Structure 1
Amino acid sequence: MPLVLAGPISDHAYFSERIEPQLGDSVRYLGHLVTEYLVAAVGMSAVALVAPQWDEPYGLVVAEALACGTPVVAHGRGGIPESSRRIAVGWSQPTTWPRCPSRSVRRNSWLGPHARARAVNHCSERGMVNRYV
């Protein structure tokens, strides 16, 4: 599967040395996209791979991808396993990440159009307020 990256570059030296040399036909970098283009890119993706390098407190990217109708495979780091139990399709411990995505992508790509409904039901303002109440 081709890999498409999007987002800001916070460490230009790292990007130039480690990421840029790997770009080509199977790995593309779209840049730091405005919301409209990011939603379109995520919405057209087969799956969103979410691999935070820190203890993500909630997993907003997971909810945003699902709201675009895109299945998710995520690192089980920080709050992602807990927040994602109800919404994400697959997640792995960071130590198993190199072996997990391809199996998880194939196994979980069936979600498709159901992803948006799951995200709306579990992550919308109304859904979250109802559960808090």
Structure 2
Amino acid sequence: MDNTYSANILTLLNIGYAYQRQDQFDIIHDHNGYLSLPTANFSKTPVVMTIHGYFGVNEKRIFENLKNPYLVPVSKAQAASAPNLKFMGNVYHGLEMKHFPFSKKPGKYLLFTGRISMEKGVHFAIEVAQYLDIPLIIAAKLDSAVDAPHDVSYFKQFVEPKLSDQIKWVGEVNETERNKLMSEAMCSLHPVTWPEPFGLTLIESMACGTPVVAFNLGSIPEVIENGKSGYIVEDVSSMIEAVANILKIDREYCRKYVLNKFNVKNMVDGYE
């Protein structure tokens, strides 16, 4: 089986099997997005679909012509990007705080987590770290040249030449390792260059007590309390300034902020 398509094929088979059993359920909560649409649109059982991705032109056209399912955005910014869609409220992600170790004392390195790609802006994180002469750990996945040739090209041109004892790429790490890196970091950098619907790594970092500095795009103003749980900035220069002042942020407040706003109870109540 061609690896390029195998994941989607297996997902489609799983979705098809799940919807064959729809009569066993009162409600189906679907997180598969467009992959589920052929079945979800004609399901006799009500379908609530949480949308995690960005609404481009094609996505808007597809979803606008559906009678089902009931759509739930993960941020107000995401909903605002597709005003013609019929959304059923807005539900933020919620975390089980026990999985995120808290550290009151800030570490001596900056952290970038997620995926290596142009839109994630890791090259900006490198620029900030080099300017301030602070170590940077890049705990991020790089997809294969088959799956993401543009990401590999980006890495070779903008990231790999900058790697050093100061700028370290440790690849993709497991959840336990990542959370430890988060809790011991000075701060997390999130220099995304696209209107991200919801940055889950932001609330994960703040749950560990580690503030986040992020570009002002998409849902960022909904996720970070500017000046309290991190800083929302406009460009690299202001990101450098924010990192230089990051010790002013109360790490205990960061954790309490996530505990109060992005907890599992709030998420479940939102769906109910």
Structure 2 length-normalised TM:
0.44
Q: 2:253 aligns with which of 82, 103, 114?
A: 114
Larger Rg: 2
Unaligned runs of 5+ in 1: none
Deviation at 1:13, TM superposition (A): 2.5
- Structure 2 unmatched runs, 5+: 1-133, 144-150
4+ residue segments displaced more than 3 Å: 85-88, 127-133
Alpha-carbon distance in structure 1 between the residues aligned to 2:237 and 2:135: 17
Q: C-alpha separation between the residues in 2 aligned to 1:18 and 1:62?
A: 23
Q: Indicate the residue corresponding to 1:40 in structure 2.
A: 180
Contact 1:67 1:120 in 2 (8 A): yes
User: CA-atom RMSD, angstroms?
Assistant: 2.2
Q: Does 2:143 correspond to 1:2?
A: no
Taking every aligned residue pair, what percent have the same amino acid on both sides?
28
How far is the alpha carbon of 1:50 from its aligned partner? Answer: 0.8
Distance 1:25 1:104, change over 3 A: same
Give secondary structure in 1 for the equivalent of 2:214: strand
Aligned partner of 1:91 among 202, 208, 232:
232
1:25-64 alpha-carbon deviations (Å, 9 max, x no partner): 2211110111111111111100001112321112322111
TM-score, with length taken from structure 1: 0.84
2:265 maps to: 126
Partner of 1:23: 163
Q: Which of 239, 243, 256 is equivalent to 1:105?
A: 243
